[in-house]
Structure 1
Amino acid sequence: MEFRGVMGGLYRISEWIMRLSVINLLWLVCSIPVFFFAFMGLVSQSPDALKSMLPILAILAPFTLFPATSAMFTVARKWVTGEEDVPLLKTYFRGYKENYLQSMVGGIFFVIIFVVIAVNYFFYLKQGSTLRVLAVLFIAFTVIILISLFNFFSIMVHLHMKIFQILKNSILITIGNPVNSIVLLICNGVIFYICVTKFNFFLVVFFMGSIMATFSFWQFNRSFTKLQIKQQQLEEKEQQKLAEAQEEQELGEVESEKNDIEISLHKKEDSHKE
């Protein structure tokens, strides 16, 4: 039965609320170790409790959080590309299984990069005024890697590539499309801020991850589609140029044949006159 008008709109809204909340809950459940230790660090009365939890989170994230996030992006890809009625549980866990190894390796890579950046940032922050400027540089690196992380998941679930190619392309896309990268960072930052500060973690539990994943893949897919159109237009232009060059070559050959025939006819006429 299909609803129309106001009832149809309300039905569609409730359907999307259900989809987003189910995927977000699956994401949290599959990342329980990471969120558990993060929550323990946040609610602890000790100011250094969260810092003490960071090594544990860094170890656990590649094996739990990253595969769960890749599965969430798998479902988001289906939604963005028009497959809205896919079975949620089946699609999620299929994405979890298929992308587990690549997401784990990518998670290890990104965790190492973030650790290196953090160590260098705090090191240069404690130095003199001259070297302290370098700390700002590592903040810029953090922003680039953070945006690359979103592109990493989008590329992994959308294209068949080796892990090194996915990592390389995620960074190249981030640097090569600064406007889209800034929009992606700002919008996801706003979503994160609203979910964490305004609704007492209600949106974190039911909507934050799925909304960010859906928006991130939508942004990536929009840029990727534009890139494909430009590439197709360039290929068409190249084919047109090749066709024109081939036509010119064929015309040149015809002209040269005509000239050869005319020369031979003139030679025959001269021979008859003699």
Structure 2
Amino acid sequence: MRFSGFSHLIVQIANWIMKFSLINLLWVIINGPFAVITIIMLSTGSFMEMLVPLTLLMILTAFLLFPSTTALFAITREWIMESEQSSLLKRYWALIRENYRTSFRAGSVYAFIWAVWFLDYQYLSSVNDLLGMILIIAGILLFVNTVVFFCFHSHYRMPMKKLFSNSLLVTLGSPVMLLGTIVLGTSFVYFTARFPVVFIFFTGSVFAYLSFYLFFRYTLSVNRRTA
């Protein structure tokens, strides 16, 4: 009996590892061009040389990064909600297609905001250390807001303006979401830097899963308080 239970646990763990690694690998492949151009941009020597790759990154953010990442959050949401999935790959592609228009529009907005932040940081951090620190804090808040937007977009059916406004309200109004997302993001950056192979197989999918789980628990607590 104990051996049977242990064997079942091993099968479950192997199944979860396969699910996370398969979806993460597909997400990495889709965003391969984004990663390559990011490396090219960061290796350039001058401010002006960054403009062309930065423009390409803005385009890829709208066309590839946001639709594929929204689908990544949506599929991990289904794991948490214990929704049935006949085929992992087919479901992932279906989620990309279902949310593509909204994800593209949102990606265009966030790509512009992130580009403005990046250019401001590159310029102002070299002029004044205090301004550089302020922009780092702004970048952290923008990162949390982007993650919260993915959670909202994958969980609710709302107009675009409502998604943006709710994401901003939760980012600024929930210390749990703010600090939790920062801790998760920092941890994953650290482990990815130490073990780059983790990025290929687990970083995106596990981060999406844990971020949405944190968001889902937060929404449940809000619903209980307002009930």
Q: TM-score, normalised by structure 1?
A: 0.74
1:208 is aligned to 2:203 = yes
Of 155, 160, 167 in structure 2, the residue corresponding to residue 158 of structure 1 is: 155
5 Å-filtered alignment, 1:237-252, equals none
**What is the letter of the counterpart of residue 145 of structure 2?**
S
1:224 corresponds in structure 2 to 219
5 Å-filtered alignment, 1:93-104, equals 93-104=93-104
Query: 1:27-54: CA deviations, max 9, x gaps?
Result: 1222232123235567x7x656994633
5 Å-filtered alignment, 1:188-207, equals 188-195=185-192, 197-199=193-195, 201-207=196-202
Give SS of 1:82's match.
coil
**What is the letter of the counterpart of residue 185 of structure 1?**
I
Of 138, 142, 145 in structure 1, the residue corresponding to residue 135 of structure 2 is: 138
Mapped to 1, the partners of 2:73 and 2:150 lie a distance apart of: 7
Structure 1, gaps ≥5 residues long: 233-274
Checking the alignment, whether the CA contact within 8 Å between 1:70 and 1:96 is kept in structure 2 is yes
Instruction: State the percentage of identical aligned residues.
Output: 29
| Structure of larger gyration radius | 1
> Structure 1 residues 95-104 or 180-189, which shifts more?
180-189
Give SS of 2:6's match.
helix
Mapped to 2, the partners of 1:228 and 1:4 lie a distance apart of: 40
Change in 2 beyond 3 A, CA 1:188/1:84: farther
Give SS of 2:83's match.
coil
1:110 is aligned to 2:110 = yes
**Alpha-carbon deviation of 1:118?**
2.6
Checking the alignment, whether the CA contact within 8 Å between 1:144 and 1:171 is kept in structure 2 is no
Change in 2 beyond 3 A, CA 1:8/1:190: same
Q: TM-score, normalised by structure 2?
A: 0.88
5 Å-filtered alignment, 1:245-260, equals none
> Structure 1 residues 49-58 or 202-211, which shifts more?
49-58
> Structure 1 residues 30-39 or 216-225, which shifts more?
30-39
Considering only aligned residues, what root-mean-square deviation do their CA atoms show, in Å?
A: 2.4
Query: 1:80-136: CA deviations, max 9, x gaps?
Result: 112365531122111101111111111111121122223333443344x6xx53333
Checking the alignment, whether the CA contact within 8 Å between 2:76 and 2:208 is kept in structure 1 is yes
Checking the alignment, whether the CA contact within 8 Å between 1:24 and 1:210 is kept in structure 2 is yes
Change in 2 beyond 3 A, CA 1:39/1:137: closer
**Runs of 4+, deviation exceeding 6 Å:** none
**What is the letter of the counterpart of residue 151 of structure 1?**
V
1:179 is aligned to 2:176 = yes
Mapped to 2, the partners of 1:171 and 1:86 lie a distance apart of: 35
2:64 corresponds in structure 1 to 64
5 Å-filtered alignment, 1:19-98, equals 19-39=19-39, 51=50, 53-83=53-83, 86-98=86-98
Query: 1:197-229: CA deviations, max 9, x gaps?
Result: 222x21111111101110110011010111111
Mapped to 2, the partners of 1:48 and 1:27 lie a distance apart of: 31
Change in 2 beyond 3 A, CA 1:202/1:125: closer
Specify which structure has the bigger relative contact order, considering alpha-carbon pairs within 8 angstroms and separated by 6 or more residues: 2
